[in-house]
Amino acid sequence: MSVEILDLTDIMTVLTASFLSFLLDNFLLRTCSFEKKNHGIIRYI
């Protein structure tokens, strides 16, 4: 078995995709539950 070393571009692509999906999930989560956590958000602001 040979171990392939990932290129820097591949690593950055994976990290960027993971980060974007993470932000998208958080954005959708906050948008869907905005009415429920409205008072909490106002308190933190």
41 or 16, which is more confident: 16
pLDDT digits (tens, 9 = 90+) for 4-13: 766 788 888 9
pLDDT digits (tens, 9 = 90+) for 17-41: 999 999 988 888 877 666 565 655 5
Return d(Cα 19, Cα 13) in angstroms, integer.
10
Domain assignment present for residue 25? The answer is: yes
Is the model's pTM score more than 0.75?
no
Domain assignment present for residue 24? The answer is: yes
Domain count, the chain: 1
Predicted local distance difference test score (pLDDT) of residue 25: 87
Predicted local distance difference test score (pLDDT) of residue 11: 85
CA angle 20, 18, 25 (to 5 degrees): 55
Residue range(s) defining the domain that contains residue 31: 19-45
Domain assignment present for residue 11? The answer is: no
Domain assignment present for residue 13? The answer is: no
Domain assignment present for residue 1? The answer is: no
